[in-house]
Amino acid sequence: MNRAIAPVVALSVTAASLHLLAAPSKPAKTPPGPDAAGPPTTLKTPARVTRVRIDVSPGGAAITHEVIFGKDALAVSGAGDPTLFVAFTAQARPLAIEATRHALGATGALVEAGATKVEIIDVFVRPKTAAVVLGPPAQAGHVLRLPRDGAPFGLRLRSAIATHELASPTRTVSILARLGVRGLGPMPVEAIEIGAMLGATIRGARATYCGPGADPRPLTVSFPGYPSSPAGTIAPSTATRTNDDDLCVDVLI
């Protein structure tokens, strides 16, 4: 099968990703359990992923998810703030993580002005009271505590992870980005971006959905600042999806 590798040259460093890689988070101090979550939270309607961006550097990568929630998307039973659960990446616990909550503009894009940081609590097991947003519920991950507000909003989640170059002539780094809301159906994915930082040079990338029954066809990726190369790929939003989809990306460096 043709792997449909899209060529690209070195790209710009992103300051946010550089900050994450330079400042690892401290070990979690909060034990697992309902106390990490608060009142029971459920997703009334599925969210959608407007962008997944992966910035690769020597020995590491920063994964950015931008997720949009509609009006009154979160239902909370009882007093307190809603909480969401995000599973660790398949690689390991992130070196660092940052989450920000954004208002939405007239076009539905995240508004940078007025964005606020979201409290993040590491847990060994997802509290039953936290709504699952990214990844499988039965594993370690993060609980995100949000303000109680029924307005539509966007969530930007940045995770820095260590990577290991595969022993092959092509010099490939494989990365898995969590997707999907188990039980509510797959979240639509609109765009996949690949970048480089800290002096890394990217020669190409191949993205597919992965997991049981996932559509194996290569997905269109973009390299910001450079012409797109959609030949032989399909838009992420047009692929056949399953509830257990994740995003797998092979990056040639």
Lowest mean pLDDT among 33-42, 188-197, 205-214: 33-42
- Both structure tokens of 121: 């609590």
Percent helix / strand / coil, the chain, rounded to 5: 5, 40, 55
Residue type, 127: P
Nearest to residue 120, comparing CAs of 140, 141, 89? 141
Nearest to residue 69, comparing CAs of 96, 36, 102, 93? 102
Q: Which residues contact 215 (CB under 8 A, 6 or more apart)?
A: 208, 209, 239, 240, 241
Is 63's pLDDT higher than 90? yes
Q: Is 90 exposed, middle or buried (0-12, 13-18, 19+ CB in 10 A)?
A: middle
Question: In this predicted structure, what is the pLDDT of residue 197?
Answer: 84
**What are the start-end ranges of the E strands in the chain?**
6-7, 41-43, 48-57, 60-69, 74-76, 83-87, 96-102, 116-117, 119-123, 131-134, 141-145, 153-162, 172-177, 192-196, 204-210, 246-252
Percent of the chain with pLDDT over 70: 79
Is 21's pLDDT higher than 90? no
* CA distances from residue 36 to 90, 121, 159 in whole angstroms, order as listed: 22, 7, 20
Read off the pLDDT of residues 129-177 as tens digits, 9 standing for 90 and up: 998 888 888 888 999 999 988 899 999 999 998 887 665 666 788 899 9
Question: In this predicted structure, what is the pLDDT of residue 146?
Answer: 92
User: What's the fold here for domain 6-252?
Assistant: Immunoglobulin-like (2.60.40)
Read off the pLDDT of residues 210-253 as tens digits, 9 standing for 90 and up: 988 899 999 999 988 776 667 789 999 999 988 888 999 999 88
**What are the start-end ranges of the E strands in 167-221?**
172-177, 192-196, 204-210
Q: Give CA–CA dist 71/81, Å, rounded.
A: 16
Distance of CA 228 to the CA centre of its chain: 21
Return the top range by mean pLDDT from 30-34, 86-90, 104-108, 241-245: 104-108
Helix spans in the chain (H): 15-22
Q: Give CA–CA dist 201/183, Å, rounded.
A: 39
Question: In this predicted structure, what is the pLDDT of residue 16?
Answer: 44
